[in-house]
Amino acid sequence: MPYIKIHSQNFFDNFHTLCQVISPNNPQRLAIVLKDNAYGHGLKEMASLAKECGIISCFVKNIQESLQIVEFFPHISILYPNPLEHSPLFRQCLESPNIYFCISSLEKLQDYPPFSRIELKINTGMNRNGIAYNHLKEAFEVIIKNKLQLIGVFTHNGFGDNFGCEFYAQNATFLEVKKEVLKLCEKHSLPKPRFHSLCSSAGLRANTDCNIPQSLQDDCYRIGIAFYGYLCQEEILSIPLSLKPVASLWAKKISSRNLKKGERVGYGGASTLSRDCVVSTYDIGYGDGLFRLREGMELYTKEGFKILPPASMDCISVESEEEEICVFDDVKKWAEAFHTIPYEILTHLHPYIPKKII
């Protein structure tokens, strides 16, 4: 069976590096994004490491994910809850005082029973999810009428990776949102909610402006990919930060054979050997969520063994005779080969692949 090694020291090092750059005086402002099985790393495994670092807030994808880690953190926000599905599980969330529901539209706000703890998402220019800025007043009216508990108000700055003014424009819009929220809270005698807006790359660009009063600053940062060891910023923005990939993927040998130069391997004989060598198959394939290596792609294991395309559903052929190989300890090369981002390669890894924390 293939497995994923979770390099705990790399995670701890990333935590310290990110604290130092983003929030040196208050590490608890770093929240971890654990959605999608912690970007393929294993939800519970990463939750336990995050807890060990003293992280107190996290973000997950859905109701099921929140309940799996309910005992790990004092603040768990569900990014995409659906109160109308899975009603017994939704009830369980309602009864857990540390679980909050992120609300992406005015209509959805109506679906929540009294005393639900909510975080209101506001659209500040990414135009994907969130309540329109000019509907804040209506949102507060529903909150009061339905006795909802407003825990947070947030937005998603979608321009952290990109050079240009949109990043700053979104921050400026969110600042206006925060001012309006404080006014509405005062009017309705509600406690100040927490504010947050920035992901990994955006958080690294946050420039805590001392002229902005504390009450209008962000209270936490939603850090995902950087905790797992990657950043995907445009070159011009890249800062010298040594983040370390946390996951490495390992596979075990199924069988070996001696082959001669010129012999062909796999479906359609797509790979032709350029020398006599031993070729072995290993027990990971695209059925396990590893992207399917195709003809013309050149990728090597960590040890430097050539992976021979095409990949099969349950195995890959490699110019190696080792019992075990490391398919990758850094997914950047895979992401490049498939013209995608590390996020996509990582989140595709099937949750049933066992995790070994080392």
3-state secondary structure of 31: strand
User: Which residue stretch of 181-189, 216-224, 246-254, 279-287 sits at the interface with ligand PLP (rule: CB under 6 A)?
Assistant: 216-224
Report the C-alpha dihedral over residues 119, 120, 125, 127, rounded to 10 degrees.
100
Size of interface with ligand PLP, in residues (CB under 6 A): 11
What is the DSSP pairing of strand 3-6 with strand 247-259? antiparallel
Instruction: CB nearer to ligand PLP: give 200 or 320.
Output: 200
Catalytic pick from 35, 108, 121, 178? 35
Binds ligand PLP (CB under 6 A): choice among 224, 229, 245, 289: 224
**Looking at beta carbons only, is 222 or 355 nearer to ligand PLP?**
222
The answer for residues whose C-beta is within 8 angstroms of residue 87's C-beta and 6 or more apart is none
- The Cα–Cα gap between 105 and 352 comes to 34
- CB of residue 329 to ligand PLP, shortest distance in Å: 20
Cα-based distances in Å from 139 to 33, 95, 104, 131, 146: 26, 23, 11, 8, 11
Residues 6+ apart with CB under 8 A from 329: 245, 248, 249, 302
Alpha carbon distance 193, 103 (integer Å): 14
Residue nearest to ligand PLP (CB): 224
Q: Say whether 267 is catalytic.
A: yes
Can you say whether the dihedral through the CA atoms of 248, 254, 260, 266 is positive or negative?
negative
Q: Which of residues 77-106 bind ligand PLP (CB under 6 A)?
A: 79
Q: Of the candidates 117, 222, 306, 355, which one interacts with ligand PLP according to CB under 6 A?
A: 222
Measure the CA angle with vertex 90, ends 84 and 94; round to 5°: 125
Dist. CA 293–CA 288, nearest whole Å? 13
- Considering beta carbons, is residue 22 or 265 the nearer one to ligand PLP? 22
CA nearest neighbour of 118 among 109, 127, 130 = 109
Which of 161/319 has CB closer to ligand PLP?
Answer: 161
CB of 202 to ligand PLP, least distance (A): 8
**Length of the chain counted residue by residue:** 358
Smaller CB distance to ligand PLP: residue 59 or 72? 59
Residue 12 CB neighbours (<10 A): 15
Q: Which lies closer to ligand PLP via its Cβ, residue 104 or residue 320?
A: 104
Site string for ligand PLP, 31-70 (x = CB under 6 A): --x-x-----------------------------------
Among the listed residues 122, 199, 243, 345, the single contact to ligand PLP using CB under 6 A: 199
Unique residue bearing structure tokens 């859905």: 62
Question: What's the distance, CA 241 to chain centroid?
Answer: 19
Site string for ligand PLP, 140-169 (x = CB under 6 A): ----------------x-------------
Q: Decide if residue 223 touches ligand PLP (CB under 6 A).
A: yes
Residue 249: name the closest of 139, 334, 155 by CA: 334
When binding is defined by CB under 6 A, the residue of 69, 93, 175, 225 that contacts ligand PLP is: 225
Minimum distance of ligand PLP from residue 222's CB (angstroms):
4
Work out how close the CB of 79 gets to ligand PLP at its nearest, in angstroms, rounded to a whole number: 5
Q: Which of 145, 147, 179, 267 is catalytic?
A: 267
Residues that are catalytic: 35, 267
Chain contacts with ligand PLP (rule: CB under 6 A): 33, 35, 79, 156, 199-200, 222-226
